[in-house]
A and B are shown apart, each in its own frame.
Chain A
Amino acid sequence: DAKTTQPTSMDCAEGRAANLPCNHSTISGNEYVYWYRQIHSQGPQYIIHGLKNNETNEMASLIITEDRKSSTLILPHATLRDTAVYYCIVRAYTGANSKLTFGKGITLSVRP
């Protein structure tokens, strides 16, 4: 699976949009971009994933550049409960046996 690069940390104000960047310049054509987050002492929580089109769900939006070498996760209105480590993961979609390899992630701190 291709490697991803994320900043170590960032913060944003409560109520504002949080834009979390991720670089994946070696991504292959069959690899998806996944985002998970982990709140302290809990298991990771799935947020969103995409291949090449932008995606939106009830939690977030995922913007993938046209060349697919980078993406941005957008939390439109961050709350204190969004404080967590966010992982950007590239994964070939090969079915139930396709494991996830976690990097260090980015620590998002939402301030009041």
Chain B
Amino acid sequence: GAVVSQHPSWVICKSGTSVKIECRSLDFQATTMFWYRQFPKQSLMLMATSNEGSKATYEQGVEKDKFLINHASLTLSTLTVTSAHPEDSSFYICSASVTTGGFHSPLHFGNGTRLTVT
């Protein structure tokens, strides 16, 4: 089945630094990927929709200058948390679907990246 891989699985960084998270579709091409964030004991919240070759679409309340998304190829999207602060500590998850001959599979999710900002 379709595999979405995230790297790193967890990261600890100091306040004020930037962190890049990678999301790769391992065995399929993804023109669209989605980035979610999940705080402890809460549900997943969509942050942005990443489109290959164009600008990402951000959900209301998500700062596009803080959460930089780049989708430069059909198999890789990156999320960079700039000038991270402790309140950015969260579980970040990406997802993508397989498109084959007009058929779109259900979204498949990566295993997430645990970000801790100290």
A residues engaging B (CB < 8 A)?
34, 36, 38, 41-46, 49, 87, 93, 95-105
Known: A44-B109, A95-B104. A102 touches B44 (CB 8 A): yes
Q: What CA separation (Å) do A98 and B104 show in the bound complex?
A: 10
Q: What CA separation (Å) do A91 and B22 show in the bound complex?
A: 26
B93 is an interface residue with CB less than 8 A from chain A: yes
Determine whether the beta carbon of B32 is less than 8 Å from that of A46: no
Known: A41-B91, A102-B43. A49 touches B106 (CB 8 A): yes
Determine whether the beta carbon of B46 is less than 8 Å from that of A99: yes
Known: A49-B106, A98-B104. A43 touches B34 (CB 8 A): no
* Residue in B4, B49, B106, B114 whose Cβ sees the most chain A Cβ within 10 Å: B106
Q: What CA separation (Å) do A9 and B74 show in the bound complex?
A: 39
Determine whether the beta carbon of B112 is less than 8 Å from that of A41: yes
Chain B residues contacting A38 (CB-CB under 8 Å) are 44
Q: What CA separation (Å) do A100 and B34 show in the bound complex?
A: 9
Q: What CA separation (Å) do A101 and B6 show in the bound complex?
A: 21
Determine whether the beta carbon of A46 is less than 8 Å from that of B112: no
* Residue in B36, B43, B46 whose Cβ sees the most chain A Cβ within 10 Å: B43
Q: Smallest distance from the beta carbon of A33 to chain B beta carbons, Å? A: 12
Q: Smallest distance from the beta carbon of A44 to chain B beta carbons, Å? A: 5
Give 7 pairs: A residue, B residue, CB < 8 Å, sorted on A: A43-B111, A44-B44, A44-B109, A49-B106, A95-B99, A95-B104, A102-B43
- Chain B: CB-nearest residue to A87: B43
Chain A residues contacting B4 (CB-CB under 8 Å) are 43
Chain B residues contacting A101 (CB-CB under 8 Å) are 46
Determine whether the beta carbon of B49 is less than 8 Å from that of A105: no
* Residue in A43, A97, A103, A104 whose Cβ sees the most chain B Cβ within 10 Å: A43
- Chain A: CB-nearest residue to B57: A97
Q: What CA separation (Å) do A99 and B112 show in the bound complex?
A: 17
Chain B residues contacting A93 (CB-CB under 8 Å) are 104
Chain B residues contacting A42 (CB-CB under 8 Å) are 111-112
Determine whether the beta carbon of B43 is less than 8 Å from that of A43: no
Chain B residues contacting A103 (CB-CB under 8 Å) are 43
Please provide the chain B residues from 39 to 54 with a CB less than 8 Å away from any CB of chain A in the complex.
43-46, 49
